[in-house]
Chains A and B, each alone.
Chain A
């Protein structure tokens, strides 16, 4: 190769390289009440193309941004499932079609599941299961909520071909009890699990999955305080691990989470 060609090869690259994380605006296209939660379909200014369980920072202009799992919803579209618990999520829940919101994402890494991996999602993290279902993963899924009405409403969002088990703490679900109870009792039986939920649920699942010898093949979707969502500020460290949630997470190998979960 001539020196000139070699030099050209060295400098030949786009001025702006691919950015992992984008900042975009979006328009609310549709809002559905799902058992007291709000599913917002958003048409974005540019495609975000999230891969589960990636998340984004979402906010109503002028309000504080909050991290939310991004549900793939086709080209130039994403969906979010809002549980109205704070000022931003209340404002999001009150949005109507045609209203403007802002997003930064997708943050973190996608995790492609091996066929047969069970997705167990509880509490506000049930969105993670919806994100996988929207991306074409068939399950099995375990959706765990306190109230049956919420679990059953969420169940209707999955394609009918998906294998979905519901668990709740009142009657009406497939399983009566918590997500951890359901795993322990074999309500979903798999060789690998992706667990998404609050820390006590992850801790319980860790113990059960260790007893069943499937810890090494399993992951957990972790929730810590996220400030910037891009990995730039570095404040999203998962305690007791070398991981930054916005860069390495939100799904992390369960075997690396013993210190974070406080299990020995």
Chain B
């Protein structure tokens, strides 16, 4: 049984925030597809309409999105969690929250806790909002935000983006007592139609996800595990589109994976395929999944 960031996630596969589970109905679809936990859309303090369409563009088996954290604001957290439970949802629910300041993260974490969430995931790396770009010292903000969120009393996960300072940010999460880091968010990206000579996305720029970013995400997990070992749980995300991709993340050091673009590009069935495939892989190599976490660092078999 996999305990990830103090949450039981069995099988160790979830949706990535913002994909499919934007509503309780979407969360139920993720549950029905065989996930071990559901991650909500990111909630901010104030409602956000998001960017104009097109906000999601399929690209090389992945997606470039400029959704821009469209959400109903802090009041939507309780509504979401309660509706999910009322409709029979039974999985642990990780509420993704996006604060502009550590204080906002604290306020959102309290709302999530009051609503009955099992954990919060601090979205500190969305490339489609202005405030993350303005943060000069992300590591300090991670530290303060985790501290503020921990006061709410539920497990705190921190979702980080790939960049030069990633290991400093992971260290800040470890030092401030975060229960897990989620690596990595989408990468800043842009598409231009050369015939129209205009950006393709309504938000002009966006975030790239899916198989094109997987080797980068695997490297980020590998780096973090090599540096911090078991001192913090890692959730791998970025281009997980099948069980082999999930196994790569686990061997690099992740205890669980999140699936984003593939839920849209391939379909929801990919969750069950990953869960079953990991189980089958674990049997074939003769080791439980828990033992395979970070195995590539130990030179198994």
Is residue A234 within 8 Å, beta carbon to beta carbon, of the partner chain? Answer: yes
Residues on B lying within 8 angstroms of A by beta carbon are: 18-23, 25-26, 28-29, 41, 50, 52-61, 63, 65, 67, 70, 87, 193, 195-200, 202, 211, 241-242, 244, 261, 263-268
- Which 6 residue pairs across A and B have the least CB separation, nearest first? A234-B22, A61-B196, A228-B56, A232-B264, A65-B53, A61-B198
Q: How far is the CA of A222 from the CA of B211 in the complex (A)?
A: 33
Contact of B56 among A59, A66, A233, A247 (CB under 8 A): A233
CB proximity of B210 to chain A, nearest CB, Å: 9
CB contacts (< 8 Å) of A233 on chain B: these are: 18-19, 22, 50, 55-56, 65, 67, 70
A199 interface residue per 8 A CB criterion: no
Tell me the chain A residues, 201-259 only, with Cβ under 8 Å from chain B: 226-235, 237, 241-244, 247
Whole-angstrom CA separation of A251 from B242 in the bound complex: 29
Cβ-defined contact, A229 with B70, below 8 A: no
Contact A16 B200 (CB under 8 A): no
Chain B residues whose CB sits within 8 angstroms of the CB of A65 once the complex forms? 52-54, 202
The minimal Cβ–Cβ distance linking B83 to chain A, given in whole angstroms, is 11
Is A16 within 8 A of B61, CB to CB?
yes
Contact, CB under 8 Å: B193 / A20: no
Q: Is A186 in the interface zone, CB < 8 Å from B?
A: no
Q: How far is the CA of A230 from the CA of B62 in the complex (A)?
A: 12
Docked complex Cα distance between A241 and B29 (Å): 12
Pairwise interchain contact B26-A237, C-beta atoms closer than 8 A: yes
Q: Is the CB of A17 within 8 A of B25?
A: no
User: Closest CB of chain B to A133's CB: distance in Å?
Assistant: 28
For the complex, what is the distance from the CA of A242 to the CA of B268, rounded to whole Å? 14
The one of B19, B58, B60 in contact with A234, judged by C-beta atoms closer than 8 angstroms, is B19
Other A-B contacts than A104-B56, A233-B67, 20 sampled, CB-CB below 8 A, are A17-B266, A20-B267, A22-B58, A25-B193, A57-B54, A62-B198, A102-B193, A227-B53, A227-B55, A227-B70, A228-B54, A230-B56, A230-B63, A233-B18, A233-B22, A233-B65, A234-B23, A235-B23, A237-B25, A243-B25
Query: How many residues of A are counted as interface, with CB atoms below 8 angstroms from the partner's CB atoms?
Result: 38
Q: A100 to B198, alpha carbons, bound, how many Å?
A: 11
In the complex, the chain B residue whose C-beta lies closest to that of A11 is B244
Decide: A234 and B196 in contact? CB cutoff 8 A: no
Q: Min CB distance, B246 to chain A, in Å?
A: 13
Alpha-carbon separation in the docked complex, A57 to B18 (Å): 19
Which A residues lie within 8 Å of B199 (CB)? 62
Interface presence of A2 (CB below 8 A): no
A227 and B201 alpha carbons, distance in the complex (Å):
12
Listed by A's residue number, 27 A-B pairs whose Cβ atoms lie within 8 Å are A17-B61, A17-B265, A19-B61, A20-B265, A59-B54, A61-B197, A62-B199, A64-B52, A102-B54, A102-B193, A104-B57, A226-B53, A227-B55, A228-B56, A231-B20, A232-B56, A232-B65, A232-B264, A233-B65, A234-B19, A234-B21, A237-B26, A242-B28, A243-B25, A244-B20, A244-B26, A244-B29
In the complex with contacts A11-B244, A235-B22, A242-B196 CB distance below 8 A: no
Consensus secondary structure, chain A interface: loop
- Once the chains bind, are B60 and A16 in contact (CB under 8 Å)? yes
User: How many angstroms between the C-alpha atoms of A61 and B204 in the bound complex?
Assistant: 11
The answer, yes or no, to whether A23 is at the interface (CB within 8 Å) is: yes
Contact in complex: A229, B56 (CB < 8 Å): yes
Q: Shortest beta-carbon distance, B269 to chain A, in Å?
A: 11
Are B263 and A232 in contact (CB-based, < 8 A)?
yes
Q: Is B22 in contact with A23, judged by CB distance below 8 angstroms? A: no
In the complex, what residue of chain B is closest to A66 when comparing beta carbons?
A: B53
Query: Within 8 Å of chain B (Cβ to Cβ): is A95?
Result: no
CB–CB A64/B20 < 8 A: no
Q: Please, how many angstroms separate the alpha-carbon atoms of A102 and B67 in the complex?
A: 18
Q: Which residue of A lies closest to B61 (CB)?
A: A16
Contact B41 A234, beta carbon cutoff 8 Å: yes
CA–CA, A64 and B57, complex, Å: 13
Complex Cα gap A13–B244 (Å): 11
Beta-carbon contact of A21 and B265 below 8 Å: yes
Within 8 A of B (CB), among A32-72: 57, 59, 61-62, 64-66
Q: Tell me how far the C-beta of B212 lies from the nearest C-beta in chain A, rounded to whole angstroms.
A: 10
Contacts of B87 in A (CB 8 A): 242
The smallest beta-carbon distance between B22 and chain A, in angstroms, is 3
Q: Is the CB of B28 within 8 A of A23?
A: no
Q: Which residues of chain B come closer than 8 Å to A15, judged between CB atoms?
A: 61, 211
A247 vs B266: C-alpha distance in the bound complex, in angstroms?
11
CB-based nearest A residue for B24: A237
Asked if B53 and A62 sit within 8 Å, CB to CB, the answer is no
Determine the distance from Cα of A228 to Cα of B22 in the docked complex, in whole angstroms. Answer: 12
Give, as a whole number of angstroms, the nearest-CB distance from B88 to chain A. Answer: 11
Beyond A17-B241, A21-B58, A104-B54, whether A228 also contacts B196 by CB under 8 A is: no
**Which residue of A is nearest B65, CB measured?**
A232
Q: Are A244 and B58 in contact (CB under 8 A)?
A: no
Complex interface: chain B residues within 8 A of A228 (CB): 53-56, 65, 67
Determine how close the nearest CB of chain A comes to the CB of B51; give it in whole angstroms: 9
> Cβ of B244: which chain A residues have Cβ within 8 Å of it?
11
Give the distance in Å from the alpha carbon of A234 to the alpha carbon of B19 in the complex.
6
